[in-house]
Structure 1
Amino acid sequence: MILRFLLAFFVLINFPILSQNKSIWTFKTNNRVYSSPVIENNRIYIGSGDHYLYAINKNTGNLVWKYKTKGAVHSTPFISNNLICFSSADGNLYGVNKNNGNLVWKFESKGEKMYDLWDYYLSSPTGNTETVYWGCADGNLYAIENKTGKLQWKFKTNGVVHASPVLYKEQVYIGSFDGYVYALGKDNGQLLWKFKTVGDEYFPNGEIQKGLLVKDDVVYFGSRDYNMYAINSKTGTLLWNLKEKSGWIIAIPTEHKGTLYFGTSDAHLFYAVDKKTGIVKWTAPLQMRVYGSGVVHNNTIYFGSFDGKIIGLNCDTGERNYEFQTESSKKNYSLMYNEKGHFKKGFELYGDDFEATEKLIHSLGSILSTPIIENNRIYFGSSDGTIYTVKL
């Protein structure tokens, strides 16, 4: 991830000291957790890099059941009736009984792969009671019969599809690493329109990595070309785009009362943007990347960061009013940061050994998971392999 501007890394950032609530419970898996939790009734469903999908009692943190695949489960599960669907790095989409974890069906793609070192997520399925839609690294968007796991139709893009599809009205929308957003008929996969990102000098494909938000007939999404886009969902016509100077926009934006909220990658900023015009309302400085989406609760937007923190910002002002730090972050923070929250002298975020640096970052318990809030509790996963439940 070569940067055009590094200024954001070297700005001295002073944050207020905030009180931190303790975890109500934690559940330990055996690998990194990038999956986002889904809650239904008294259970949390979430995947892990240890190849398992877990069903956990949301009140106690006790294991209810787990299902093992042959690859990392870095997708967010989708629930329809008694079925829970999720994808694995083994290239399969699984449908299991949500009550007992027994396999109902398995759909095999042409195979999974990572696009690059920063391609952390798999496509997360979505759908309705009849059909499950799912993207894969083989370039296809698949429509699969919910009850049987049989293929209904597929649509081929020209890139890895790790973005999650969105079902909206009669269309299904998908982004691809080829830099296109595709609008397809949900019943037959017929192409209705496609939109190409503008690209950038360093990232000319304008890859779409994680997903889209579709609301009020507008498709919102970020790209590796540093842009946030708004396009008409019916025609694919560009409404506006906002160019970020120095960072990918991976996170799917969160909409609340006419404002889009999203974090950036290398700019280390969090944005509040008018959803109709793309005009920036405020930005807030961060100390690390944000790939996951935020969730709004009591006029605060909560989101996870690669530095192992859940951060809460006032929706109106961007003022930081909440912070939770993982135990891994507390333990290893001084490996990267000095006492002022600045990168330590000699630390290079993009030096000669990218893999070693990413490993060091993940030692902080990076939070790529999008949190979920229920009954004044926030649930999320971390790259330290832990699933957290914290009282707000």
Structure 2
Amino acid sequence: MKSLFSILIITIYSSVLYGQTSLVWEYKLSQGVYSSPVIDNNVLFIGSNDSSFYALDKSNGQLLWKYRTKGELKSQPLVYKESVIFNSTDGFIYSVNKKTGQLIWRFATEGEKRKDIWDYYLSSPTLSEDKLFIGSGDGHLYTLNPNNGELIWKHKTGGIIHANPLVYQHKVFIGSFDGFFYALNVENGELIWKFKTIGDEYFPNGEIQKGATIYKNSIIFGSRDYNIYSLNIETGRGMWNRKEKGSWVVAEPLIVDDIVYFGTSDSHRFCGLNASNGYDKYSLPLNMRVYGKAIFYDGDIYFGCFNGKLYKFNIGDEELSQVFQTHGSENNYFNVYNKKDEFVDGFNLYDDNYKEAEEKILSLGAILSTPIVDNQVIYFGDSNGYIYAYKLKELE
């Protein structure tokens, strides 16, 4: 387990080493970007809280086209054949031509909902077996024909679904804000099994906010009841659970070499657990929450943090370092933190002024977006509306 002091030294060294000199391009929007990018050939697709969906040239950030909806776009889009499909808080799921941005179809749900100010995402579309799966704030998991948007089936849960569906072995897996995790038949949406989270004194429903990950014969996900769970994929019975005291586990887990990696909410750390039994492998302290999924690239793990910093965890030497700092974090960091990387006096995340505190955190250019790497360049958005393309290594 690394000490906070050692990580701070590494962070300072890494910041000097990288600087901000490897920025390939940036693109500024009027509102935040919580959406995660996807790349198709030379085009980067990403949504924004400004209600528009963007297609950018991945090499220089030039706008190719944009499509405007009437709601925020806060999930990862899906490229399907000649289309790109995405979700909006206006209650519609859209398919547009990936080259022109012209509408192909749109599907009306029963309307979106938001649980609270920390419910930052929408469900991302998933494609499998020629079907499109996507959750909605109306509590349904929808299965659509990706060619025309026609409904194939839908399954109603008791809460908001903003988690990403996962399809494996002819089952679709999804968590809901009702505190249940569901396994459904891909063909007709019939329930195969469901699992109820434990709940907690303060969060008795045990809401499941984001997606899950497959590991061998198990499926792993986090909950607002402070637990991360591993279930038997065939039966839905618990295999293990690990309680993160005082902290939601929102981030979708990443598994590399039998270790499950995820960031936490209020305990402000990045964790590595043994995927077979949930035992601790790594516990790396941070000074703010992590909601986005970590990614694995070229032997390293990358993830963004609400403090506006992009981090790298080197698995080989077990070192955590800062790779990049957003403009908002550079400019506003000391409005929230002192020189010891601790909250300044008088700052409290969850007192009566919690909304104001959250705005200050978002002003740091918080990274809620899950990064994507293409040809040694990492792409992601921030809460101040920047989309960044940052070179990780010298391009060959």
Q: Residue in 1 aligned with 2:153?
A: 153
The one-letter code of the counterpart of 1:14 is L
The one-letter code of the counterpart of 1:358 is E
Q: Residue in 1 aligned with 2:375?
A: 375
Q: Residue in 2 aligned with 1:52?
A: 52
In 2, Cα distance between equivalents of 1:62 and 1:374? 17
Percent identity between the two aligned chains = 48
The one-letter code of the counterpart of 1:96 is V
Change (3 A) 1:192 1:104: same
Q: Residue in 1 aligned with 2:38?
A: 38
The structural deviation recorded for 1:129 is 6.3
Q: Is the 8 A contact 2:348 2:354 kept in 1?
A: no
Q: Is the 8 A contact 2:182 2:191 kept in 1?
A: yes
Change (3 A) 1:13 1:299: closer
In 2, Cα distance between equivalents of 1:177 and 1:73? 20
Q: Residue in 1 aligned with 2:8?
A: 14
How large is the RMSD of aligned CA atoms in angstroms? Answer: 1.5
The one-letter code of the counterpart of 1:384 is N
- Which stretches in structure 1 are left out of the alignment for 5+ residues? 1-9
SS, match of residue 224 in structure 2: coil
Q: Residue in 1 aligned with 2:345?
A: 345
Q: Is the 8 A contact 1:80 1:128 kept in 2?
A: no
Change (3 A) 1:296 1:12: closer
CA distances 1:252-288 after superposition (whole Å, capped 9, x unpaired): 0111111111000000011011111111101100010
In 1, Cα distance between equivalents of 2:5 and 2:243? 21
In 1, Cα distance between equivalents of 2:375 and 2:95? 29
The one-letter code of the counterpart of 2:285 is P
The one-letter code of the counterpart of 1:296 is F
Question: What aligned pairs does 1:10-159 form with structure 2 within 5 A after superposition?
Answer: 14-16=8-10, 17=12, 18=14, 19-20=17-18, 21-22=20-21, 23-128=23-128, 130-159=130-159
Q: Residue in 2 aligned with 1:7?
A: none
SS, match of residue 14 in structure 1: helix
Change (3 A) 1:225 1:141: same
Q: Residue in 2 aligned with 1:327?
A: 327
In 2, Cα distance between equivalents of 1:48 and 1:164? 18
Q: Residue in 1 aligned with 2:296?
A: 296
* 2:209 pairs with 1:209: yes
Which deviates further from its counterpart, 151-160 or 10-19? 10-19
Q: Is the 8 A contact 2:24 2:391 kept in 1?
A: yes
Q: Is the 8 A contact 2:309 2:329 kept in 1?
A: yes
* TM-score scaled by length of structure 1: 0.95
- Which stretches in structure 2 are left out of the alignment for 5+ residues? none
In 2, Cα distance between equivalents of 1:241 and 1:47? 34
In 1, Cα distance between equivalents of 2:279 and 2:106? 45
Q: Is the 8 A contact 1:143 1:151 kept in 2?
A: yes
* TM-score scaled by length of structure 2: 0.94
SS, match of residue 112 in structure 2: coil
* 2:237 pairs with 1:248: no
Which deviates further from its counterpart, 213-222 or 142-151? 213-222
CA distances 1:17-51 after superposition (whole Å, capped 9, x unpaired): 12234311001111110000111111111100000
Q: Residue in 2 aligned with 1:168?
A: 168
Q: Is the 8 A contact 1:282 1:317 kept in 2?
A: no
In 1, Cα distance between equivalents of 2:103 and 2:365? 31
The structural deviation recorded for 1:79 is 1.4
Equivalent residue pairs, number: 383
In 2, Cα distance between equivalents of 1:320 and 1:135? 34
